[in-house]
Structure 1
Amino acid sequence: MSRFMSIWFGHLLTDGYARQSPHLQSIPFVVAAPEHGRMVIRAANLRAEADGIAAGKVLADARAIFPDLQVVDAKEGMENELLLALGEWCLRYTPDVTINPPDGLILNISGCPHLWGGERNYLKELVLKLRAMGYDARAAIADTIGAAWAHARYGKIAPIIESGRQKEALLPLPPLALRLDQITADRLHKLGLHSVAHFIDMPRPTLRRRFGQEMLIRIDQALGTLMETMKPIRPIPPYEERLPCLDPVRTAKGIEIAIQMLLTQLCQRLFKEDKGLRAATLTCYRVDNEVQQISFSTSRPSRNVEHLFSLFTLKIPSICPALGIELFLLEATVVEELTAVKEMLWNQTISNEKAVAELLDKIGGKIGIDKIHRYLPDEHYLPEHSYKEAANLQEKTTGQWCTNRLRPICLLPEPEQITVAVPTPDYPPFLLRYKDECYQIVKADGPERIEQQWWEQEGPHRDYYSVEDADGARYWIFRSGHYNNEQSGWFLHGFFA
């Protein structure tokens, strides 16, 4: 049986502004916005309501009653921003949270309350923390969203409705508790139907004829005979593990134990599905409402708990537990099929490719995985296009590296133009100038001609030379086109070791 919690923020807008400007907490104030050429109050805090000022009044009339009333200009979309922030905060209690505009949240709490010692402790802790943050919050739990919504706003006895008893709990509540529109509620009151008990058992054709199909839908949703869907603020990842803590974790050792437990659970699931983890994120929710995150990625799919834990340990010092962490959330953001290892790395047979991949992961954890690259040969004539970056260790190619010709260990991404002095045409230079430095060439080998791929692009051929200067430094240079061609020019393309 599913269980839902509805949270109602009675003064959401004013509480949000008061948190941003603490001086507003001790004075009456309202939030106003222009409407049809006049300023209308959109929300009033508790102190202003005690002075007889309520939402919907014209601001000028309210100031006539209370001249010193503090006014805050309404920000468009502020309610949704507040609800989204509060919904993300509630993710520490359940992964399934939905915004319920204009002033509420809906939580699917199925399978969660036992981690806090039952529904009563679960509701109490959540509501007290929201109130400590400065929000006027009320909540209720029921089998259906409609019943929970009704009791959070109109219930006056118990906030927790026992499973299967939502109808009994709805009977004494006013019609608006069924989320009916104001026009329908006013018609019910004119007919003397002041509570749900007065009409809920009436013949359905009569209710449909007098009040429309919407009323029947709301009744069925509240009773649970019609399923109501939710749209979570964050889709639940298919590979996610949660670990709530009864006592906040403040030590590095406690964080390590939590990570090991989460990794063990996650890897067991990956093992059953023949999958491996490629990237993961650990989110730590602190008791002071701050959130800490660390992430890592691997060069190949893995479900080796020890290896994955070693990647986390490199980043544990960056986590600041402060007053303590109350929830750990491990999410596998990238998951791939884990197949038998048959590939080759850099065209060389690897006796223990798994160990190489894990070594790369550890190095990547220290310097950043984006700093490590693997390249494969690509079928292009021009050297700068003769390779491509591999996505992982499993990727293969049909191309072959050029092994019968000498190639520089450092190849520039794009050739850089240089000026040279040559003794005669079609000879290697005896002097070259690169970045305002002159180098005397004492040895040279070449030329090696590389043509353009005519089916892809047009352009002159290249004549490559391997040259060495007086200090022993060696360069890979080329002349573009024939000596007497307008497109002719000399370029530096790489450095030898």
Structure 2
Amino acid sequence: MTKRYISIWFRHLLTDWYIRKHPDAGDSPLVFSTQQRGRQLIHATSRKAENTGIYCGMAVADAKAIYPHLVITPYPPDQEHHLLTALGQWCIRYSPVVSIDLPDGLLIDASGCTHLWGGEHNYLAEITLKLSAYGYDVRAAMADTIGTAWAVARYGNDATIIPGGLERKALRPLPPAALRLDDTLLTKLQQLGFHKIEDFIHLPINALKRRFGQAFILRLKQALGGEREDILPLGIPSVYEERLSSLDPIKTAKAITIAITRLLDVICFKLQQEGKGIRTATLTCYRIDDQVVQISIGTNGASNNTTHLLKLFELKIPSLAPGPGIDLFILQALLVEDVISEQEKIWSATGSADNNITKLLDRIESKIGSGSIQRYQPAEHYWPELSIQPFTAPNDHQQVNAPRPDKLLPQPLPIEVTAPIPDYPPMLFRFMGQLHEIKKADGPERIEREWWLEDGAHRDYYIVEDAAGRRYWIFRLGHYAVSQTQWFIHGFFA
């Protein structure tokens, strides 16, 4: 695939932003000022200020002499970076690879994106018209190289889309500054009478290198496509990402479901080919009013089953606000894992392992909130409240075979117990003011304290059943003592 890049130049970035926030400020020439070496200098100008002869770097006193009613605003440090980052995030709707180009531009990798808007002309026009509608004075150009797109956007005249292979022709009438050279090189070129790129572009590379250095040759080769140039995107694009645009704004839940289905079909097919499945996925929807809404899903096990994943998204669609309509959907599989395929049982009626429990947990978690369901595994501790831990990775520790309650209290609670003789199950116990008469009991099961970690008494556990048929897990701490015996309740059986 041939690479295509777009360079966007915001001619009056700071002042356009300020006028957007303060519409009344656009009636008069506006500048941003900064202090350098004790002098107030112009840092940025509006179009009206520029037309009056005020330029960047001019002293504020001289500017006021030209236009006494000049609106002067202090320059907020690093504001260009903040503005370009926000604008770049907005442009991600047009391409997953967008980079800021300080101090006043953006770079977009448009490779493979233009067909979604009906071609390069429609694509570029859509971007520039939208930015212009927001009040920004922009120029943009598209080419096979970043250097040519940058040069044409800032110094070109009419053509803004440069066909592949015509970079040299597009650069010839432009000034040397279009090659992104530093001031020292530009001064040297001007002194030698090189006022346009066509004045030296035909000269041998070795001669140019001896005269102007390697930095000059690098910029020239980058613009002509002889040297690779990469951009640093604002966000790393997901490996598994699909886009779906719509000519007509989508508002209904049924239409949104159809869009999600199409995206899932493509992504799941790729994942199936690679033996992988989705663990977390996010659907980003770009509305025609330039608002962005998202919904996300998560699974308890890697899945590339379109039907199952669609059901999870369908549970979230009611929370999605389409507003006046959605014109672009982006589905990203942010976390994928290998799908572990269990061996099919020849004698099984279904022919494959049943994973309905995993699907059920996914749907429950989608309804009650992500992270509401926790999976636990055995931990290497004797004490019951310490013997489980959140699941991270399979371990070799085996769970005990003795019965354990369905509900285990985080910490044992004290109870009052009546027992006939030492080491016999209790006859009565009182818990939270209620007296329970014990009809059946099993035990004791002795669980020792981990002496290599801490000192203390052991526990003797009993499973007891009261007259109402309710079963409890209680224990006596340490050996029996007439006046100091302590009993606790630790869990409840179903």
Same fold (TM over 0.5): yes
Query: Which residue does the alignment assign to 1:290?
Result: 291
Question: Between Structure 1 and Structure 2, how many residues are aligned?
Answer: 486
- Is the 8 Å Cα contact of residues 430 and 436 (structure 2) preserved in structure 1? no
CA distance in structure 1 between the partners assigned to 2:64 and 2:483 by the alignment? 83
Moved more, 375-384 or 181-190: 375-384
Letter of the structure 1 residue corresponding to residue 450 of structure 2: Q
Moved more, 298-307 or 51-60: 51-60
CA distance in structure 1 between the partners assigned to 2:136 and 2:483 by the alignment? 76
Moved more, 420-429 or 157-166: 420-429
Q: CA RMSD in A?
A: 3.0
Counterparts of 1:19-58 in structure 2 under 5 Å? 19-58=20-59
1:461 aligns with 2:458: yes
1:59 aligns with 2:54: no
Aligned match for 2:477, one of 480, 483, 494: 480
- Is the 8 Å Cα contact of residues 432 and 438 (structure 1) preserved in structure 2? no
Deviation at 1:492, TM superposition (A): 3.7
Query: Which residue does the alignment assign to 2:330?
Result: 329
Cα distance change on mapping 1:320 and 1:448 into 2, 3 Å = same
CA distance in structure 2 between the partners assigned to 1:72 and 1:252 by the alignment? 48
CA distance in structure 1 between the partners assigned to 2:476 and 2:76 by the alignment? 65
Query: Which residue does the alignment assign to 2:347?
Result: none
CA distance in structure 1 between the partners assigned to 2:138 and 2:7 by the alignment? 10
- Is the 8 Å Cα contact of residues 204 and 216 (structure 1) preserved in structure 2? yes
Counterparts of 1:7-406 in structure 2 under 5 Å? 7-341=8-342, 352-390=353-391, 398-403=396-401, 405-406=402-403
- The 3-state SS of whatever aligns with 1:376 is strand
Cα distance change on mapping 1:463 and 1:323 into 2, 3 Å = same
Deviation at 1:123, TM superposition (A): 0.8
Deviation at 1:342, TM superposition (A): 5.6
Deviation at 1:438, TM superposition (A): 2.8
- The 3-state SS of whatever aligns with 1:362 is helix
CA distance in structure 2 between the partners assigned to 1:10 and 1:477 by the alignment? 77
Which ranges in structure 1 are unaligned for 5 or more consecutive residues? Answer: 344-349
Percent identity between the two aligned chains: 50
- Is the 8 Å Cα contact of residues 286 and 327 (structure 2) preserved in structure 1? yes
Moved more, 219-228 or 442-451: 442-451
CA distance in structure 1 between the partners assigned to 2:415 and 2:120 by the alignment? 80
CA distance in structure 1 between the partners assigned to 2:111 and 2:454 by the alignment? 62
1:413 aligns with 2:413: no
Letter of the structure 2 residue corresponding to residue 449 of structure 1: R
CA distances 1:244-294 after superposition (whole Å, capped 9, x unpaired): 222322222221121111111111111211111121111111122111111
CA distance in structure 2 between the partners assigned to 1:141 and 1:488 by the alignment? 84
CA distances 1:1-38 after superposition (whole Å, capped 9, x unpaired): 21111111111112222223333333322222332234
CA distances 1:173-226 after superposition (whole Å, capped 9, x unpaired): 011000011221122222221111111222333322332211111111111111
CA distance in structure 2 between the partners assigned to 1:273 and 1:487 by the alignment? 65
Deviation at 1:296, TM superposition (A): 0.4
- Is the 8 Å Cα contact of residues 429 and 441 (structure 1) preserved in structure 2? no
CA distance in structure 1 between the partners assigned to 2:83 and 2:410 by the alignment? 48
CA distance in structure 1 between the partners assigned to 2:416 and 2:321 by the alignment? 58
CA distance in structure 1 between the partners assigned to 2:482 and 2:157 by the alignment? 93
Query: Which residue does the alignment assign to 1:438?
Result: 433
Q: Give TM-score scaled by structure 2 length.
A: 0.89
Cα distance change on mapping 1:169 and 1:485 into 2, 3 Å = farther
Which ranges in structure 2 are unaligned for 5 or more consecutive residues? Answer: 345-350
Q: Give TM-score scaled by structure 1 length.
A: 0.89
Letter of the structure 2 residue corresponding to residue 2 of structure 1: K
Letter of the structure 2 residue corresponding to residue 440 of structure 1: L
